[in-house]
Amino acid sequence: MVEGEQNLVKQAKKGDSEAFGLLYEHYLPKIYRFILIKVGHKEQAEDITHLTFLRAWENVSRYQYRGYSFSSWLYRIARNAVIDHYRKNTVQISIEDVSPEALGIDNSLIESIDTKIKWEELFGAIQTLKDVEQDVLIMRFVEDLTHQEVAEAVDKTEGAVKVIQHRALKKLKENLK
């Protein structure tokens, strides 16, 4: 969360582009990384990220704090933009575009997952999961969102997110055997 996020959101809702710019700068890498993992190509991820923030700017005046964070609202916009992208396009995912380095993930994080698992195997296993399972795992373990924030972003209850996460991890474990 950005320091003074609620104030920045209030200012952005009033049309303050500088306040929205600070929110943009803070959330851009996170939203981009989420989208890049989902679509697999840098150029497409950049376009969808741009669209996400454009939609956020156009609709920020309608954002209302209802117990969920601004970041959850952004992730929901990003998730919907990815869904729209999939509806319009047949997607081929390139492993080179979603390498740990391209995602800005510290290699020690990848190594700590399990030194025996190669990134390509993990990425391939993630791609076999349902979209909502991918979203939950990416938001929880890559973006480090809470169960509540993920629930708000994917429009599920917190309990449902925990179940989805458990089942997705179980599937990943099976796929990686």
Nearby residues of 121 by Cβ (< 8 Å), 6 or more positions away: 176
CA angle 39, 45, 50 (to 5 degrees): 140
Residue ranges of domains in the chain, CATH in brackets: 5-175 (1.10.10.10)
CA angle 159, 162, 164 (to 5 degrees): 110
Tokens of 137: 């795992």
Tokens of 174: 């099976």
* DSSP code at position 3: T
C-alpha pair distances (Å), 64 with each of 10, 25, 116:
10, 21, 45
Which of 42-46, 101-105, 154-158 has the lowest average pLDDT?
A: 101-105
**Tokens 């700590």 map to which residue?**
112
Given a cut of 90, whether residue 175 has pLDDT beyond it is: no
Q: What is the pLDDT of residues 47-102, one digit of tens each?
A: 999 999 999 999 999 998 777 789 999 999 999 999 999 888 765 555 555 555 55
Q: What is the pLDDT of residues 95-123, one digit of tens each?
A: 555 555 555 555 555 555 554 456 677 77
Nearby residues of 104 by Cβ (< 8 Å), 6 or more positions away: 29, 33
Cα 114 to Cα 80: distance, rounded to the nearest angstrom = 32
pLDDT score at 115: 47
Report which secondary-structure segment, H or E, holds 152. helix 147-154
pLDDT score at 107: 58
**Phi/psi of residue 12, nearest 5 degrees:** -65, -35
pTM for this predicted structure: 0.69
pLDDT score at 144: 87
